[in-house]
């Protein structure tokens, strides 16, 4: 708006000034010609110059207007950058304090849009130190549950509590520092492997990074690269397989050493060697921690204390492996029968 107004005003003022100037020069020239001071040639010469000057002024006006237009565009862009995130910290800036690492969902309802709910009135409680496997059909909302726990989205109804504290009432930084997430498809930065693992805890020394990499079963494959820990990963560097990337993410989580751990197992099948390596890495990671694993593989599920079967936004079965396999008509039993000796995929 500002740019448009300025453009109009500048145009009008310029136009008026030019007309005025033209008249003045014309008048003076005619007077001078009458007194015999000017020839017709002089008159034409002055006119030519005048037109030339007008054109220059016109172009200058244009330039000024362009500058203003660009400034206005830039302002709009910075406005977008400054728009506040929908998810806000509480005014009190209270920090989450985690002693035991207990997780509780209380009547939680959530949908990405109003038309359908992915999570429907969900309630469950994970005791401190408990290791829980979450299983269920693909697209059922398992990853969504982890996003809600990290408060990447706000829920429509209900409450999520960590150690009895509502996650809405504490800062997002303090919440996320207490929860380590190993995502389904970990993202690595275009940096060295050393820096990528250190992302778990910025102040970790090289020695600590390497120790974590060893526990996560990353060390051996990293040492096989010519530049070892200084190898660049990502588009312009070396490409890692899904299993290797997940192990790097596990190394990050080991380094972060948060009391609550979420692991979203990759859905793509791994060969049994890398599966065993991930299992080993996991065992090192979950010690003494409250753990929620979204499991697709029997090898993982078997090691957990408790299994929650999640379908259609609700919990349909909940218990130990031994309990659930005996439940003949249950979904878990069906999945188990389908996948014995293999993977629990879709």
Ligand X SMILES: Nc1ncnc2c1ncn2[C@@H]1O[C@H](COP(=O)(O)OP(=O)(O)OP(=O)(O)O)[C@@H](O)[C@H]1O
Chain contacts with Mg ion (rule: CB under 5 A): 143
Q: Which of 138, 156, 241, 320 binds ligand X (CB under 6 A)?
A: 138
Q: Of these partners, ligand X, Mg ion, none, which one is at the site of residue 118 (CB under 5 to 8 Å by kind)?
A: ligand X
Q: Minimum distance from CB of 316 to Mg ion (Å)?
A: 17
Q: Which part of the chain contacts ligand X (CB under 6 A), choosing from 137-145, 163-171, 231-239, 311-319?
A: 137-145
How distant, in Å, are the alpha carbons of 183, 223, 256, 262, 279 from that of 198? 17, 17, 9, 19, 22
Please give the residue whose beta carbon sits closest to Mg ion in the complex. 143
Q: Does 300 bind ligand X (CB under 6 A)?
A: no
Q: Which part of the chain contacts ligand X (CB under 6 A), choosing from 140-148, 200-208, 230-238, 278-286?
A: 140-148
Q: Minimum distance from CB of 135 to ligand X (Å)?
A: 9
Q: For ligand X, which is the closer residue by CB, 15 or 139? A: 139
Scanning 113-241, the segments in alpha helix (DSSP H) are 142-149, 172-177, 193-198, 206-215, 219-223
Residue 125's DSSP bridge partners are 104
Q: For ligand X, which is the closer residue by CB, 160 or 204? A: 160
Q: For Mg ion, which is the closer residue by CB, 143 or 274? A: 143
Q: Does 141 bind ligand X (CB under 6 A)?
A: yes
Q: Of these partners, Mg ion, ligand X, none, which one is at the site of residue 178 (CB under 5 to 8 Å by kind)?
A: none
Residue 282's DSSP bridge partners are none
DSSP helix/strand/coil, 308: strand
Query: Within positions 266 to 285, which residues make up the interface with ligand X, using CB under 6 A?
Result: 267
DSSP helix/strand/coil, 115: coil
Q: Minimum distance from CB of 119 to ligand X (Å)?
A: 9
Q: Which of 118, 122, 155, 250 binds ligand X (CB under 6 A)?
A: 118
Q: Minimum distance from CB of 140 to Mg ion (Å)?
A: 8
Q: 279-284 long-range CB contacts below 8 Å, 24 or more apart?
A: 279/303, 280/217, 281/215, 281/216, 281/217, 281/218, 281/247, 281/250, 281/251, 282/250, 284/215, 284/216, 284/254
Q: Does 144 bind ligand X (CB under 6 A)?
A: yes
Query: Within positions 239 to 268, which residues make up the interface with ligand X, using CB under 6 A?
Result: 267
Q: What is the DSSP string of 5-57?
A: HHHHHHHHHHHHHHHHHHHHHHHHHHHHHHTTS--HHHHHHHHHHHHHHHHHH
Q: Minimum distance from CB of 7 to ligand X (Å)?
A: 42
Q: Does 327 bind ligand X (CB under 6 A)?
A: no
169: tokens are 């009432």
Q: For Mg ion, which is the closer residue by CB, 126 or 135? A: 135
Q: For ligand X, which is the closer residue by CB, 111 or 330? A: 111
DSSP helix/strand/coil, 248: helix
Q: Give yes or no for a contact between 121 and 109, defined as CB atoms under 8 angstroms apart.
A: yes
> Helix 272-286 to helix 242-256 angle, to the nearest 10 degrees?
10
- Residues in the site for ligand X, rule: CB under 6 A? 112, 118, 138-144, 184, 267
């Amino acid at each position: 708006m500002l740019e448009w107004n300025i453009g109009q005003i500048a145009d009008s003022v310029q136009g008026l000034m030019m007309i005025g100037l033209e008249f003045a020069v014309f008048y003076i020239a005619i007077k001078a010609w009458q007194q015999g001071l000017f020839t017709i040639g002089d008159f034409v010469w002055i006119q030519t110059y005048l037109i030339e000057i007008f054109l220059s002024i016109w172009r200058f006006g244009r330039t000024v207007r362009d500058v203003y237009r660009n400034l206005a565009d830039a302002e709009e862009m910075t406005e977008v950058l400054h728009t506040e995130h929908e998810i806000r910290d509480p005014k009190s800036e209270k920090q989450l304090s985690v002693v035991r690492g207990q997780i509780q969902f209380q009547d939680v309802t959530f949908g990405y849009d109003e038309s359908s709910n992915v999570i429907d009135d969900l309630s469950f409680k994970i005791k401190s130190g408990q290791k829980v496997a979450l299983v269920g059909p693909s697209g059922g909302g398992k990853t969504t549950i982890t996003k809600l726990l990290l408060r990447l989205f706000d829920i429509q109804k209900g409450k999520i509590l960590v150690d009895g504290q509502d996650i809405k009432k504490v800062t997002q930084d303090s919440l996320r520092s207490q929860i380590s997430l190993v995502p389904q498809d970990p993202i690595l930065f275009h940096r060295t492997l050393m820096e990528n693992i250190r992302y778990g805890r910025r102040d970790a020394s090289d020695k600590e990074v390497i120790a974590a990499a060893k526990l996560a079963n990353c060390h051996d494959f990293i040492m096989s690269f010519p530049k070892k820990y200084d190898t660049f990963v990502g588009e312009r560097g070396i490409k890692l397989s899904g299993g290797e990337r997940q192990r790097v993410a596990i190394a990050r989580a080991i380094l972060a050493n948060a009391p609550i751990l979420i692991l979203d197992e990759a859905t793509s099948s791994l060969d049994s060697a890398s599966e065993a390596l991930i299992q080993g890495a996991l065992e090192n990671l979950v010690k003494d921690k409250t753990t929620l694993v979204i499991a697709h593989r029997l090898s993982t599920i078997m090691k957990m204390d408790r299994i929650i079967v999640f379908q259609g936004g609700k919990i349909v079965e909940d218990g130990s492996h031994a309990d659930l396999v005996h439940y003949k008509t249950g979904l878990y039993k069906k999945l188990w029968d389908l996948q014995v000796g293999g993977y629990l995929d879709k």
